[in-house]
Chains A and B, each alone.
Chain A
Amino acid sequence: MLLKDEVGMLQRVPLFSGIEPTKLKLLAFTSDRVSYSAGQILFRQGDEGDAAYVILSGRADILVDSDSGPIKVAELAPNSIVGEIAILCNSSRTATVRAASQLEALRIRKDHFLRLMREFPEMTIEMVRVLADRLNHTTADLIDARSGK
């Protein structure tokens, strides 16, 4: 996959959809293209968060440690971004991400990511929107869960 294809992929990621293509190209160029085979770990729960990943092709599982071993809590499809929370919060990874098939991803380093946010407010706003959206969902889920009880 070439740089220009990656730009196309990035445009389909909601977080980056508002950013002009030349900036996305810069983001893609300065990121590392990484590939994993099924079963390889992108990062582990508890590691320091040093990069975010945009899945270009393939699938990955999000796993959370529990007393009875790791539990799969979600699955990542192409065009999704993962690992951005640890970067934003300066915290350690809250889950483990493992490739479920042959996986191609863009690895955006923490300092690059933060720099982009500082330089492109439209991206930051989009980011806030996505996070707020997630919070909305989580809140709705929480209400559902409580009322169901």
Chain B
Amino acid sequence: MEPSLARYIWKHTKKQQIWILLIVLLSMIPYFLSFDLPKLIVNGPIQGRGFEQPGATHPFMRLHYDLPFIGEVQFFSGFQLDRTATLFALSVVFLLLVIINGLFKLYINTYKGRLGERMLRRIRFDLVDRVLRFPPVYFKRVKSAEVATMVKDEVEPLGGFIGDAFLQPVLLGGQALTAMLFIMVQNFWLGMIAVVIVLIQIVLIPRMRRRLIVLGRERQLTARALSGRVGEIVDGIGAVHVHDTSNYERADIAARLGLIFKIRFDLYQWKFMVKFLNNILAQLTPFLFYMIGGYLVIQGRLDVGQLVAVISAYKDLPGPMKELIDWDQARQDVQVKYQQVVEQFTVEGLIAPRIGALAIDDPAPMTQPLSAISLSIADDGGAMLLNRISLQVKPGETVALVSTATGGAEALAEAFARLNWPASGRVASGADDLHELPEAVTGRRMSYASSDVFLFQASLRDNLLYGLKHAPLTPVTYDGVAAAQRRWNINEALRSGNSDLDINSDWINYASVGATGPSDLFEAVRRVLDAVVLSRDILDLGLRSSADLTRHTELARRIIELRATLRTRLEHEGLSGLVVPFEPGAYNKEATIGQNLLFGAAAGPELADRALAANPYFASVLRQAGLDRTLYEMGMEIAEQAIELFADLPPDHQFFQQLAFMSAEEIPAYETLLQRLKNRPYEAVAENDRAMIVTLSFAYIEPRHRFGLLSDELMSKIVAARNRFYENLPPELQNAVERYDPAKYIAAATVMDNVLFGRVGNNHPDAPDRIRSIVYDILDELGLYAEVLDVGLDFNVGSGGRRLTSGQRQKLDVARALLKRPDFLILNRPLSALDQRMQEKVLRNVLEEARRDGHSPAIIWVVTNPSMGMMFDRVIVFDSGQLVEDGTHETLLAGNGILKELLS
């Protein structure tokens, strides 16, 4: 990137800068005309000059010019207007000029703003583009939050400056020069005084600003380091809590903030100091005019008129000078910021653009062997991880890399994945240096997974398919407004030097998976998930989440069948007591009173949880059903019992997990409420308090809480209230609840709840596990397994995939590598978070899956346990950065070498 901001701006906005300058110059014409006009109006029609005779007229809009050599030329003789008409005409012209000036200003400001925003967009894109091309080693030294803050915050002020970058100095300089010239014309020596003071300003102020620049740079660096540290705290929050170092972090942050404060305060002090001096210097000039000029007048060497003219001319000088100096300050400020950022983004060994160039068509398979030729790899400290290794892996070969603790097999795997660059020697595919191949080849024909997994904050599906999104493969057709928007997007992207590839296109490369489109992609996905033994986990996620019915229509369509099959199965196994189904006309004892009343899933906030009792319509239904007083008394009873049981316990006591009615924090509030309401007749209790108490009864489940509060009469009343609730449901609540209907899928509930359509009995401790395994069976039986798995794939993995366990993350990474069916599959201790038995199981599955349908990719696997080597064609053993053994598992075992030692 250009080291100088001015040059960077000029290079990309040359034409626009000149255009806007021309427009500004053009705008000067009406601007100055509007200066002259008030004088004309006052002197002419208002004071009556030239209209001394009654009925006198004046030409209006007469166009005549004195041209050199030609003499006077009249283009238009004008309209003859009397005094009042002239006043109106001139006033209208004044109004017109005001509008024209306003429009010019609007156009100029919009143009400048757009210019700045485009430039900002360009800089940001350039920066991120560079991040995408940094050599891997750079990322070991830089904190992600710092890079983010550079791209986002540090270049931000540039946008505001770019529109004025060239315009302002030209304009203001011109104004200042004109004023100066005017003074000189009035009186040369007084003019010289002004010149000297301006020169002092020009020399002195920038000098003083040097310190401002230094401080500004420090401010930027410290602020950047701060955001790096904040990012680190967020990423390493676990370590902070585990080691009780939160106060150390507080101290560190406080120290940094202190430093930033000091720098910023210094900066302010200097800034205002400079301003003060600047003002003094500006005021010094009139002082000198008055004193010296006055003295000269007294001496009679200068006439008063000249002095007054000079002083009044000087009024026009400080304004532009001040703005010019401000502009210069802004320039230096953004220049420093820009330089700081560019320095950080100027890196040796940037990956050439052609390596990452877009390639729509898939490259030909890699049929050449992959080799390391006299390859050495050093770590950041200069220690050799691999020392002059040469080896070759043929296509189709499966190789286990076994390594002692300092072996260096991981470094070799990273070198093949181009994540670790050779210190000397090279990695090659056939005769080509691997580093010269475009990523379109290495990223599609090779794949890599390691123990260090990175997942994006997106759904499981997006993460799994991430490895297939190389290029926009389908053209998207837009109509109407969307088409116009897309055209605008492309246009603007190109103007700012951005990429105009369409993010809405289908980027998934189905062909590489062996699929033809979205419809049969899922088969391949399921196979790789099965191979890495992740399907069950995802199925569980699917059962626990609510399905998006626009995507998973099959589930909703077959829900009746599903529920019926579950019932039959439970009866068949004599387990029907495990689940108590929801029946529209019956009370479900295993569900809460609230669930029995609402008999549906709340789909909005109006009827969810605590809002239910307070909802006016719901309260009125309870009243009509004669339940309001009963439930209130029940709530009082529950409150008493709960407080009796729990009031003495400390709020963090684990028993509170058992208390479904209220949280530990609410106990004191309920205690005072109870005291207040006790012995008060129901009628005298305020609505709010009633709701607070009634809410408690909604969480009550008789078999679980066993307070003995539920009678047959109450149950039938509740069922009656339920029906009444739905009979007159007001329109604004129609979408707030989905009624339980045995024949309907409930979108607001989880898949599991939909399948069960009832509550699991509270007094069977192993019921949830047994039911889950039965549900798995049924899903398989009905062919809905894939559908629920697909629901599970909607699960958002969280920031960095942290909502998954590390084992799940690693499995997902292997699945992702496997999915694109590469020619070379490189796996670098990919499953280290799993136990040995599971690792071996996945290894076997992966070897089999990779070779399905006659594929025979080469597999290079850095194994965590040497015994895994027996499943590979060839075993290569590394020790101290050297290749020490190479052969089949049997021959190496027979040879009494390191492998045998490692295995024993």
Q: State the A residues within 8 Å of B (CB).
A: 1-4, 6, 22, 25-26, 28-30, 32-35, 107, 111-112, 115
B654 touches A3 (CB 8 A): no
Besides A1-B706, A115-B654, 9 new A-B residue pairs in contact (Cβ under 8 A), listed by A number: A3-B707, A4-B708, A26-B655, A29-B658, A33-B706, A34-B763, A35-B763, A112-B654, A115-B655
**Interface membership of chain B positions 755-768, coded 1 if the CB is closer than 8 angstroms to chain A and 0 otherwise:** 00000001111000
Instruction: Report yes or no: B703 in contact with A33, Cβ–Cβ below 8 A.
Output: yes
Q: Are A22 and B654 in contact (CB-based, < 8 A)?
A: no
B703 and A3 contacting across the interface, CB-CB below 8 Å? no
Which residues on the A side are within 8 Å of B7 (C-beta)? none
In the assembly, what is the distance between CA of A10 and CA of B658, in Å? 19
Most A CB atoms within 10 A — which of B644, B649, B655, B765? B765
Residues of the A chain whose Cβ atoms lie less than 8 Å from the Cβ of B704: 33
B707 and A111 form a contact (CB under 8 A): no
Q: Which of B644, B658, B763, B765 contacts A30 (CB 8 A)?
A: B658
Q: Is B31 part of the contact surface with A, judged by Cβ < 8 Å?
A: no
- Residue numbers in B under 8 Å from A28 (CB-CB): 706
Within residues 634 to 675 of chain B, which ones have a CB less than 8 A from any CB in chain A?
A: 644-646, 649, 653-655, 658
In whole angstroms, what is the CA distance A29 to B707 when docked?
9
Query: CB-nearest residue of chain B relative to A104?
Result: B763
Interface residue? B705 (CB, 8 A): yes
* A30-B655 in contact given A2-B708, A107-B765 (Cβ < 8 Å): yes
Closest 3 CB pairs of A and B: A2-B708, A3-B706, A30-B658
Among B645, B646, B763, point to the contact of A33 (Cβ < 8 A).
Answer: B763
Could you say which residues of chain A place their CB within 8 Å of the CB of B708?
Answer: 2-4
**Given contacts A112-B654, A115-B654, A2 and B706 within 8 Å (CB-CB):** yes
Q: Which residues of B contact A25 (CB under 8 A)?
A: 644-645
- A29 near B645 with CB under 8 A, answer yes
Given known contacts A2-B707, A112-B655, A115-B654, A26 and B645 CB-to-CB distance under 8 angstroms: yes
Q: Is the beta-carbon distance between A32 and B706 smaller than 8 angstroms?
A: no
Chain B residues near A32 (CB-CB < 8 A): 762-763, 765
User: Which residue of chain B has its CB nearest to the CB of A25?
Assistant: B645
Chain A residues near B762 (CB-CB < 8 A) = 32-33
Contacts of A111 in B (CB 8 A): 654
Which A residues are in CB contact (< 8 Å) with B646? 26
Centre residue among B644, B655, B705 by max chain A CB count within 10 A: B655
A34: chain B residues within 8 A (beta carbon): 763-765
> Does B645 lie within 8 Å of A22, measured CB to CB?
yes
Chain A residue with Cβ nearest B574: A37
**Distance between Cα atoms of A112 and B654 in the complex (Å):** 8
Residue of A nearest to B644 (CB): A22
Contacts of B707 in A (CB 8 A): 2-3
Assess whether A29 is in contact with B705, with CB atoms less than 8 Å apart. yes
For A29, what are the chain B residues with a Cβ–Cβ distance below 8 Å?
645, 658, 705-706
A34 to B765, CA, bound (A): 7
Minimum C-beta distance from B520 to chain A (A) = 45
Interface core residue of A1, A2, A22, A28 (most chain B CB under 10 Å): A2
Q: Which of B644, B653, B705, B706 has the most CB of A within 10 A?
A: B706
Give complex CA distance A3, B703 in Å.
Answer: 10
On chain A, the residues within 8 Å of B706 by CB distance are 1-3, 6, 28-29, 33
- Whole-angstrom distance between the alpha carbons of A26 and B649 in the complex? 10
CA distance A115 to B658 in the complex (A): 14
How many whole Å from A143's CB to the nearest CB in chain B? 40
Residues of A within 8 A of B763 (CB): 32-35
Contacts of B654 in A (CB 8 A): 111-112, 115
- Most chain A CB within 10 A, of B649, B654, B763, is at B763
Q: How far is the CA of A85 from the CA of B215 in the complex (A)?
A: 70
B767: nearest chain-A partner, CB-CB: A34
Closest B residue, CB atoms, query A28: B706
Alpha-carbon distance between A4 and B706 when the two chains are bound, in angstroms: 8
Give the chain B neighbours of A112 by CB distance below 8 A.
654-655
Distance in angstroms from A138 CB to nearest chain B CB is 30
Chain A nearest Cβ from B124, distance in angstroms: 53
Q: Can you list 19 A-B contacts (CB < 8 A)? A: A2-B707, A3-B706, A3-B707, A3-B708, A22-B644, A25-B645, A26-B646, A29-B705, A33-B703, A33-B762, A33-B763, A34-B763, A34-B764, A34-B765, A35-B764, A107-B765, A115-B653, A115-B654, A115-B655
Q: Closest residue of chain A to B655, judged by CB? A: A30
A52 to B653, CA, bound (A): 20
- The residue in chain B whose Cβ has the minimal distance to the Cβ of A3 is B706
Q: Scoring B residues 707 to 735 as 1 if CB is less than 8 Å from chain A, else 0, what string do you get?
A: 11000000000000000000000000000
Bound-state Cα–Cα, A121 to B116, Å:
75
**Residue ID in chain A nearest B707 by CB atoms:** A3
A73 smallest CB distance to B (angstroms): 24
In the complex, residue of chain A having the shortest beta-carbon distance to the beta carbon of B657: A30
Query: In the assembled complex, how far is the CB of residue A50 from the closest CB belonging to chain B, in whole angstroms?
Result: 10
Q: Kindly state the separation between the CA atoms of A29 and B645 in the bound complex, as whole angstroms.
A: 8
Mask for B691-707, Cβ within 8 A of A = 1, else 0?
A: 00000000000011111
Can you name the residue of chain B whose Cβ is closest to the Cβ of A2?
B708
Complex interface: chain B residues within 8 A of A33 (CB): 703-704, 706, 762-763
A28 and B655 CA atoms in complex are apart in Å by: 11
List of B residues within 8 angstroms of A35 by Cβ: 763-764
Chain A residue numbers with a CB within 8 Å of B765 are 32, 34, 107
Residue of B nearest to A29 (CB): B645
**How far is A3 from B658 in the complex, measured between Cα atoms in Å?**
14
Looking at the assembled complex, report how far the CB atom of B762 sits from the nearest CB atom of chain A, in whole angstroms: 7
CB distance from A107 to the nearest CB of B (A): 6
Least CB distance from A25 to B in Å reads 6
Alpha-carbon gap, A25 to B645, bound state (A)? 7
Chain A residues within 8 Å of B658, by CB: 29-30
